[in-house]
A and B are shown apart, each in its own frame.
Chain A
Amino acid sequence: MQSSTRTAVAHASAHGTPERAATIWAILIAATMVTWTIGERGEAGPAVAALLFAIAFAKGSLIILDYMALRRAPRMWAGLVLGWMGLVCALIGIAYWKGLAA
């Protein structure tokens, strides 16, 4: 067990600190409240949709980079998952824009 403890010290904190995890949690909850408020007020339109997905992308990035610890993984992995998120948000944006024109 003692040798394990030594490994822990040497191997730094791949998963950040408790404070950092808690700060990120607070940001994620605050952002969720913004999204919920937008929904309750029935806000609509391209600017609101853009804001909603900017918030979703920012929240997702925190999950991907910090909670999933991809910040400390080979760069390709963060690129793949962030790229997925960016692509999905972009395609939703294109579809929304198409819906405006229809």
Chain B
Amino acid sequence: MDTNTEALMPPLSVQAEQAETPADTERRLHGDLAIWFFILAELLAFGAFFVAYAFTRAHNVEVFNAQQLGLDRTSGAINTVLLLTSSFLVVRAVQLAEAGRSRLAARWVAGAFACGAGFVVVKSFEYAAKFAAGVSLSSSTFDMFYLVLTFFHFMHVILGLVILAALWNGARQGRYRPDNMNGIETGAAYWHMVDLVWLILFPLVYVMR
């Protein structure tokens, strides 16, 4: 595992000092243990959907490829950028809370919320265009997968926004401090999971052919 880790990180080697792998005794899970079990359960559910899509596609390659052309890749890419940026802003907020600057962290959480809300707006326009074009759960197998996969993810974004709003409120009240990081780390871990899942969904459904 460590060999892999190192191989993935060459451009950042200059910052190796900060990235140094800690000793076993210093290792700890950031965020509540319960959220990590929840994240694993969510990843399994998304994984099952992704694999089901891929194997169904294998039997209908031409149909899937033709229908995929109708998807709005640009709005998918914009949404990827919004989620990645949102994740980055949450990392900054966690870093600021860890540095004892909870109220400043609230502003970064607000930025992350705005990006997440941007995702919802872009996706809503995408859905509106699809529905206007007659796409529904029963219009084709590809459409069914497209709607179920993206909507299942969409619901996770909505829940993520509720969590970010709670984090914003907590950070604004100065609740997160170096000795009280559990809340913000727990919310952040969930939000990164939402991002992580989209990183597979986008190439799988919108681009791979």
Complex formed: what's the CA distance from A49 to B189 in Å?
A: 29
> Chain A interface mostly helix, strand, loop or mixed?
helix
Min CB distance, B184 to chain A, in Å?
Answer: 10
**Extra 9 A-B pairs, beta carbons < 8 Å, given A8-B178, A84-B43, A84-B47:** A3-B179, A17-B95, A18-B92, A39-B207, A55-B203, A56-B203, A58-B8, A72-B30, A91-B54
In the assembled complex, the Cα of A42 lies from the Cα of B206 at a distance in Å of 11
A residues bordering B, Cβ < 8 Å?
1, 3-5, 7-8, 11, 13-25, 27-29, 32-33, 35-36, 38-40, 42-44, 48-49, 52-53, 55-56, 58-75, 77-82, 84-85, 87-89, 91-92, 95-96, 98-100, 102
Q: Bound state CA distance, A21 and B89, in angstroms?
A: 9
Partner of A29, one of B15, B54, B81, B185: B81
> Do residues A59 and B204 form an inter-chain contact, with CB atoms below 8 A?
no
Residues of A within 8 A of B47 (CB): 84, 87-88
Q: Measured between C-beta atoms, what is the minimum distance from A29 to chain B in Å?
A: 6
A60–B91 touching, CB < 8 Å: no
Given A7-B179, A38-B207, A56-B199: A32 in contact with B77 (beta carbons within 8 A) = yes
> A7-B179, A77-B29 known; A52 and B15 CB under 8 Å?
no
- Kindly state whether residue B103 has any CB partner on chain A within 8 Å: no
Write the B7-49 contact mask toward A (1 if CB under 8 angstroms, else 0): 0100110010011011010111110000010011001100100
Task: Tell me, in angstroms, the Cα distance from A48 to B203 when the chains sit together.
Answer: 11
- Indicate the size class of the contact surface on chain B: 35 or more
B126 — which chain A residues lie within 8 A by C-beta? none
Instruction: Name A74's contact: one of B5, B28, B65, B98 (CB within 8 Å).
Output: B28
With both chains docked as a complex, state the minimum distance between the C-beta of B54 and any C-beta of chain A, in angstroms: 3
Take A4-B178, A32-B84, A95-B55 as given contacts and tell me if A77 and B91 are in contact as well, using a CB distance cutoff of 8 Å. Answer: no
Contacts of A65 in B (CB 8 A): 5, 8
Docked complex: B62-96 residues within 8 A CB-CB of A: 65, 69, 73-74, 76-77, 80-81, 84-85, 87-88, 90-92, 94-95
| Distance from B56 Cβ to chain A, minimum over Cβ atoms (Å) | 9
B137: Cβ under 8 A from any A Cβ: no
B195 at the interface (CB under 8 A from A): yes
CB distance from B92 to the nearest CB of A (A): 6
B101 to chain A, nearest CB (A): 10
Q: Is B144 an interface residue (CB 8 A)?
A: no
Q: Is the CB of A14 within 8 A of B84?
A: no
- The reply on B208 being an interface residue by CB < 8 A is yes
Q: A23-B11, A96-B54 are in contact. Are A85 and B200 (CB under 8 A)?
A: yes
Question: Which listed residue, B24, B88, B98, B206, touches A22 by the CB 8 Å rule?
Answer: B88
| Cβ contact within 8 Å between A62 and B1 | no
Contact residues in A for B76 (Cβ distance below 8 Å): 36, 39
14 A-B residue pairs with Cβ-Cβ distance under 8 Å, sorted by A, are A8-B100, A11-B178, A13-B95, A14-B28, A20-B12, A23-B15, A32-B80, A33-B77, A61-B5, A63-B195, A65-B8, A70-B29, A81-B39, A92-B208
